[in-house]
Amino acid sequence: MMPLFKQNASSKQIRPLANITQKMTLAYGAVVLILTFSLLVVGSLYHAVIDISLLMVFLALISLIVVFFMSLYFGQTIQKAIDGLITDINERQQTEEALKQAKQAAEEANLAKSQFLLSSCHELRTPFCAIIGYSEMLCMDAEEKGLDNFAKEKGLADFVGDLNRIHSAGKHLLGLINDYTDLCKLESGEMNICNETFELSHVLDEVIEITQPLVERKSNTLQVEMDETLGEMYTDMHKVRHILLHLLSYRVRMTAQGIIVFKVTRTQEKDIDWVTFQIRDTGIGLSQEEIGKIFLPFIFSINPYERMELGLMIAREFTEMIGGNMTIESELGQGTMFTVRLPAQV
């Protein structure tokens, strides 16, 4: 059977050093005791009075002699043990320095990757915005001129429907680019916080309006429960909206022909106002394994409604950036509930 811990060269040197030190101490004590006892016995036999000062001088001389002979006998082994300790210290320092340099190199490489992706995302955003804008304009013009009905009468392709699909795909890709941009900013430490005072109900109305088409497309029902006096918040409004949009749209996608409950309450704890957002659904739920991986980037799920999710990780990072916390409760087949608690003022 293999040993649990392997001994290196330094540990093999340390053990002889400890043994030698113990042997030297025992030998030295034994010699001093024997000589002292012999001196006292000889003095008592000849009825001599032994001067304490002479006895101390005698013991000192004996000690020097004992140490001298022991150093000759054990000196080479002690030197090897000390050399082993010095070598071990040097090796550990070299290993620590190598690990430090490797960590620094990895951090620099990760930063360079984030900056490259951030630059690429900025370059991609412009053409996608153009695609979205032009497709929207063409769709509006086609509807105004009745081209859709004309195409149907002539048995042609669904002209307006194709434009809508182009517009939808462009918005989806632009959303992914925005997620990558936020992720790169978080990794490189370039994400800023811009606090401002805003009416919370206005942000909630905007979030609900944006997600309502997705709710209807999935044949879901969105139930909204809010306190009448939610009041104002002083924090980063864009991050609050981002958090709620990602969580709500994520749960809507994971639920089909079900119910999503969006509840918002405001409470006070220890003179601090907290706003709690709860998003509960009747969807397929998550297993414990999926809960452990849900906030990791670039993770695919086996769920049929799932795609690669960056938004959840970004939402949690934003939540912690503005002083809040996020929890998740779920059971496979029984739905999921996300809870986000944010301070009303940072």
| Number of domains observed in the structure of the chain | 2
The answer on 128 and 27 residing in a single domain is: yes
In 3D space, the residue among 82, 72, 73, 71 whose CA is nearest the CA of residue 13 turns out to be 82
Rounded-to-integer distance, Cα 312 and Cα 302, Å:
17
Of 174, 191, 208, the domain-final residue: 191
The answer on 87 and 42 residing in a single domain is: yes
**Is 1 part of a structural domain of the chain?**
no
The answer on 266 and 120 residing in a single domain is: no
Provide the CATH number for the domain around residue 279: 3.30.565.10
The answer on 183 and 205 residing in a single domain is: no
The answer on 177 and 200 residing in a single domain is: no
Which region holds residue 270: left if phi is over 0, alpha if psi is between -120 and 50, else beta? left
**Is 177 part of a structural domain of the chain?**
yes
- 164, 139 in Cβ contact below 8 A? yes
In 3D space, the residue among 327, 326, 324, 325 whose CA is nearest the CA of residue 343 turns out to be 324
Rounded-to-integer distance, Cα 229 and Cα 227, Å:
5
User: Which pLDDT score is estimated for 127?
Assistant: 80
Cross-strand pairs, 260: 222, 281
Of 172, 191, 210, the domain-final residue: 191
Of 191, 209, 240, the domain-final residue: 191
Look up the domain containing 59 and give its range. Answer: 8-191
Rounded-to-integer distance, Cα 287 and Cα 274, Å:
30
Rounded-to-integer distance, Cα 289 and Cα 176, Å:
25
User: Which pLDDT score is estimated for 10?
Assistant: 43
The answer on 133 and 253 residing in a single domain is: no
User: Which pLDDT score is estimated for 310?
Assistant: 72
**Is 229 part of a structural domain of the chain?**
yes
The answer on 146 and 126 residing in a single domain is: yes
Question: Residue 182 CA to chain centroid, in angstroms?
Answer: 16
For 186, the token pair is: 């978080």
User: Which pLDDT score is estimated for 276?
Assistant: 95
The answer on 178 and 48 residing in a single domain is: yes
**Is 328 part of a structural domain of the chain?**
yes
Rounded-to-integer distance, Cα 250 and Cα 244, Å:
10
The answer on 228 and 109 residing in a single domain is: no
**Is 178 part of a structural domain of the chain?**
yes
The answer on 184 and 217 residing in a single domain is: no
**Is 3 part of a structural domain of the chain?**
no
For 320, the token pair is: 């912690």
Name the residue with tokens 């024997």. 34
pLDDT per residue over 312-328, tens digit each? 888 899 999 999 999 99
In 3D space, the residue among 312, 167, 171, 340 whose CA is nearest the CA of residue 253 turns out to be 312
The answer on 16 and 114 residing in a single domain is: yes
**Length of the chain as a residue count:** 346
The answer on 123 and 183 residing in a single domain is: yes
User: Which pLDDT score is estimated for 51?
Assistant: 55
pTM over 0.75: no
For 110, the token pair is: 């990760």
- Using DSSP's 3-state secondary structure scheme, residue 294 falls into coil
**Is 2 part of a structural domain of the chain?**
no
All residue ranges of the chain with pLDDT < 50 are: 1-15, 17, 45-49, 300-308
**Is 206 part of a structural domain of the chain?**
yes
Contacts of 320 (CB under 8 A, 6+ apart): 326
